[in-house]
Amino acid sequence: MIRVKIKYLDQNISQIEIKGHSENEDGYNDLVCAGVSCIVYGTLNALEELTLNNYLVKQDDGYTLMEISESNEVNQIILKTMVIQLATIVEKYPMYIKIKQEVKS
């Protein structure tokens, strides 16, 4: 199971943590893992190209943590796009990926 935890601070995304693998044997594991990986790397590339590097990334096998040190309009649009894309995968494959959201003010 891939687990995505999104933390919001004052309505802005402050952290996204993605961990795990889809771990199934019916052939969808490659599709789900590949889809999530593409979304994650595309988001990281967009943050690198379009923002002022006001974020921290930690990665390991099956793990990505993105922490936003300073929110702005551009990085929030990029991150919200990522969340929409991941939610689209959840709609089709809810048995392999879950999203949890935490809101703090």
CATH number of the domain where residue 17 is located: 3.30.70.1490
68 strand-pairing partners = 55
Task: Give alpha helix (H) positions in the chain.
Answer: 28-50, 73-92
What's the pLDDT tens digit per position in 33-71?
A: 999 999 999 999 999 999 988 899 999 999 999 999 999
> Domain of 10?
2-104
Report pLDDT for 37. 95
105 confidence band (pLDDT: 50, 70, 90): confident
49-53 contacts, C-beta under 8 A, 24 or more apart: 50/74, 50/78, 51/75, 51/78
| Total number of domains in the chain | 1
Mean pLDDT score across all residues of the chain = 93
Q: What is the DSSP letter of 22?
A: -
Distances in whole angstroms, Cα of residue 62 to Cα of each of 12, 53, 73, 78: 25, 23, 29, 21
Quote the CA–CA distance of 95 and 37 in Å, as a whole number: 17
Quick check: helix, strand or coil at residue 101?
strand
Distances in whole angstroms, Cα of residue 93 to Cα of each of 3, 33, 36, 52, 81: 13, 11, 12, 34, 19
| Whole-prediction pTM | 0.91
